Structure 1
Amino acid sequence: MSITLTKAPFRADHVGSLLRPDSIHEARKQFAEGIISATQLHDIETKEIKRIVDKQIEVGLEAVTDGEFRRRFWHTDFLEHLNGVEGYVPEQGFQFKGEETERYDVRVVGKVSFNQDHPHIKEFVEFNEIVAGRAVAKQTIPSPNQLFNKGILDESIYPNIEEYASDVISTYRDAIEAFYQAGVRYLQLDDVYIAGLSSPDIPFNEGKYSREFLIDLARKVINGVLEGKPEDLVVTTHLCRGNYRSKWAFAGSYDLIAPTLFAKEKVDGFFLEYDDERSGNFAPLEYIPNGGPKVVLGVFTSKFAELEDKETIKARVEEAAKYVPLEQLCISPQCGFASTHHGNQLTEEEQWQKLKLIVDVAKGIW
């Protein structure tokens, strides 16, 4: 059987972000110091994006990304360019296992809507021209549910969470339409918030709403956003438990969210973390509808350089196939290699070796 699926996600796929090379780190530093212009920074980023697109194709990936090379953080760069949302420096960062993140976040300061001049639209057009049809150009953006994280919503602006949800849905519908018109046919929604709802002891599950209410609201938001989407647009959800300098933020199986989100979220695929024991077992996959969304098993880790054993991975896929038919399964890293500009603790060459291994293992399974 061919490794290729008729549409994304692919048998061997990846989440999106890639390690920034030293040239980009240095250019960002020089730009901040006023040594180079925004145009010069952009040109350096473009040169590196061209290089890593070629490299992704070389290792055999059928979907390629821009590595999120023009972003500082996987989510804030997108969210702070929405109308009614601003970026700011809070008093503290997010607490990960053994490390506090760089201090930066977003907050709602007005009614939320999509900015038709959003920079990510133009960036995708440039990226798609670089890909030039040699592979599928994949666009990643934070899930609309990220706007429900603790500390983002100002209740003086939105005293009613249902009204807020309605505006978020409209915002993302407009965003999806804009990306589609720009040429996007493979869109990934990155969602730490939903994964967090499976970990009831973490702070952003506290408040006046029950966990059950928030899980169902998250489903309504995603399905509302996807209502009426073009048939030839593939949309997936990536669930993440934190990825910062090879550290993680929280643990928890998918048990609590599976009956609602796995069973009823109308996406074309789920990218799920399964690289260590923090994610639990494969049993919650039984809620995935037969013939429904693809399940991309994140059984490789992007956090460390050590290469996974091929036979171990094959055995894990066989285990997952007890709950989801093998033809519905794919494999990938559990997350990106650089969700923020800092990157995980491995080298770029080790990153490429891991992605090449994923392609090779997929060929051996399918």
Structure 2
Amino acid sequence: MTASTLTQYPYRYDVVGSLLRPADLKQAHQDFAAGKIDQAELTRIQRQETKRIVEKQVALGFKAVTDGEFNRSWWHLDFLWNLTGVDKYDYHKSYKFKGDTTRTDNVELTGHVSENPNHPFYDSFKYLQSIVPDGVLVKQTIPSPTMLFRDNRSDRWHEFYETWDAYLDDVAKAYHDTAEHFYALGCRYLQIDDTTWAFLISKLNETKDQPAEHAKYEQLANDGVRVINAFLAGLPADLTVATHICRGNFKSTYLFSGSYDDVADQLGQLHYDGLFLEYDSERAGSFASLARIWNQDAHKRLVLGLVTSKFPELEDQDAVIARIKEAAKIVPLENLALSTQCGFASTEEGNQLTEDQQWAKLTLVKTIAEKVWPEA
């Protein structure tokens, strides 16, 4: 969005994206993988459960709703696998979460990268759009293009491109075309989920005394800014694009720690309309970086993830309000909003809480936001 006025969304209270998968949907995925049911039956169950959680979000009063990411197993890989020139492979390594291990699925390049006009996420979006009532916005979430640069996913780039820059240009165009396709289907609110910046926070800290390694991660940060801004350039003015800066979210564990300081300048350069920032624990550091991330952009909204999605205990309302007021000393209150720090099930395994506890968390976010921003 290029307008100079404050963006309407992210809303004052907003759903980050993923929601806990019910038992029948988890079983359906297992049955599909085992060949016990076909794609049509899996889709039927997905849509049945998607309709249920959309109705719940609407009943709770959320103005933007997601499909809970019920059409995927991973928050990022299912989308990336379905781009042209990208495929699935077994990495034989687990992502190193604190205290737990994941499946070993990953992504590899198999050709020139481009938008897939038959990407299955488009059909999922059309279904979601068809069941959302008037006055409620569909929020589509997809992983950041930077996720293709990490975890050995770009190892084969030189087989298909003469230069790294040419590869980056194709990635940016693939995402731009994908955003345009979602827009043509009626999408007006797109969220780009991204663990790369938290990864870089960790790596830039680890390599401060290793100049060559440090420079490699600085270049990755600069490549991220370049590709993201290239993909955003020229999108329709009434398409809001936000990003969620994630620190890892698997079965209530995490991947990365550290203050936003090391990447605040790069985050401030990104041409997003809003940034969802995780601030539910001391791992995120202080609010001092907010000024550089906001970067005096009068229309940008920063969404403070002060309510954790990892644990069931409800935060104290007064304590959360006090933290919002603390952040408002750095960034104007009108440029702030509230959410959980992440979704509830970035992978289908989900975090360690019940559905009722999930809805209680989202209700808390809404209740607090309405106290801080009465117009909400």
For each residue in 1:184-226, what CA deviation from the matched residue of structure 2 results, as whole angstroms up to 9, or x when unmatched? Answer: 10000000012211112579x9969532222222111111001
Deviation at 1:150, TM superposition (A): 2.9
Per-residue CA deviations over 1:228-283 (Å, capped at 9, x if unaligned) read 01010000011011000000011111101111222x11100000000001111100
Deviation at 1:155, TM superposition (A): 3.9
1:183-198 to 2 correspondences below 5 Å: 183-198=186-201
Aligned to 2:112, what secondary structure does the other structure show? strand
Kindly tell me: are residues 145 and 202 of structure 1, through their superposed partners in 2, closer, same or farther at Cα, counting changes over 3 Å? farther
- 2:7–2:301 contact (8 Å) kept in structure 1: no
C-alpha separation between the residues in 2 aligned to 1:256 and 1:16?
Answer: 26
1:192/1:202 CA distance change after superposition, 3 Å:
farther
TM normalised by structure 2 equals: 0.92
Q: Distance in 2 between matches of 1:250 and 1:346?
A: 21
Deviations 1:147-178 (A, max 9, x none): 11130011432463211111111111110111
Residue 320 of structure 2, aligned match among 292, 310, 313: 313
- Report 1:199-210 matches (<5 A): 199-200=202-203, 210=216
CA displacement at 1:110 relative to structure 2: 1.2
* Contact 1:202–1:250 (8 Å) recurs in 2: no
Matches within 5 A, 1:239-318: 239-262=245-268, 264-287=269-292, 288-290=294-296, 291-318=298-325
Partner of 1:163: 166
Q: Which residue of 2 aligns with 1:42?
A: 43
Structure 2: stretches of 5+ with no match in the other structure = 1-5
Give the superposed CA RMSD. Answer: 1.7
- Of stretches 285-294 and 303-312 in structure 1, the one that deviates more from structure 2 is 285-294
Paired with 2:133 and 2:94, the residues of 1 have a C-alpha distance of 39
Q: CA deviation at 1:294?
A: 0.3
| Uncovered stretches (5+) of structure 1, i.e. residues with no partner | none
For residues 304 and 106 of structure 2, what CA distance do their matches in structure 1 show?
29
- CA distance in structure 2 between the partners assigned to 1:27 and 1:202 by the alignment: 42
**Letter of the structure 1 residue corresponding to residue 290 of structure 2:** L
Deviates more, 1:230-239 or 1:158-167: 158-167
Measured in 1, the distance between the counterparts of 2:149 and 2:326 equals: 34
Equivalent pair of 2:86/2:109 in contact (CA under 8 Å): yes
- In 1, the alpha carbon distance for the partners of 2:197 and 2:123 equals 29
Q: In the TM superposition, what is the alpha-carbon distance from 1:122 to its structure 2 partner?
A: 1.3
The 5 Å alignment of 1:76-225 reads 76-153=77-154, 154-157=156-159, 158=161, 160-200=163-203, 210-225=216-231
Percent identity of paired positions between Structure 1 and Structure 2: 46
Task: Sort the Cα spacing of 1:207 and 1:163 in 2 relative to 1 into closer, same or farther, 3 A.
Answer: farther
Detail structure 1 runs of 4+ shifted over 4 Å in the superposition.
205-209
CA contact (8 A) 2:7 2:273 kept: no
Query: Does the 8 Å CA contact 1:145/1:194 hold for their aligned counterparts?
Result: no
Tell me the TM-score normalised to structure 1 length: 0.95
